[in-house]
Amino acid sequence: MDGNAFAPWVTAIEALVRQGKARGWVTLDEVTAALAAPEVSGELVDDLLEALGELEIEVADESEAPVLRGRFPDRLARAIGRLVRWGQERGYVTRAELLDAMPPGEVAEAVFDQTVAALLGMGIRVVEVG
């Protein structure tokens, strides 16, 4: 693959996908860095963002994702990532969804409360259903 003009991008994108699968998310800065080889078209960036979405890897703004999800083990971080994604799409998450993502036996009450505060800070309400 050394003779392939796409080799630098392929290697960087493979690493980005591995990291995204492990955490459930990557940042826009990480996507930009993966494509930092020679000049990249907007179409290639769009294709990569779409492919990451199909792999259920969230692409998050640097200011939101790592702060909230960085303190959790990977499995919980992915669940929190899904909650943030749903919350950003809908404007809310349910308390039941939050409890499923952060089981009380695995997450301390103070961390749960901090997470709720972080969601509220991102404009995502936590609502009771039923």
| 54-84 tens-digit pLDDT | 887 777 765 555 445 555 566 677 777 778 7
User: Where does the chain show beta strands of DSSP type E?
Assistant: 25-27, 58-60, 92-94, 125-127
Separation between Cα atoms, residue 86 and residue 93, nearest integer Å: 7
Quick one: pLDDT at residue 1? Answer: 43
Quick one: pLDDT at residue 103? Answer: 84
Model confidence at 127, pLDDT cuts 50, 70, 90, reads: very high
Residues 28-55 have a mean pLDDT of 76
Quick one: pLDDT at residue 67? Answer: 47
Q: How far is CA 83 from CA 17, 40, 73, in A?
A: 20, 32, 15
Comparing 7 with 63, the larger pLDDT belongs to 7
Statement: the pTM of the whole predicted model exceeds 0.85: no
Quick one: pLDDT at residue 94? Answer: 92
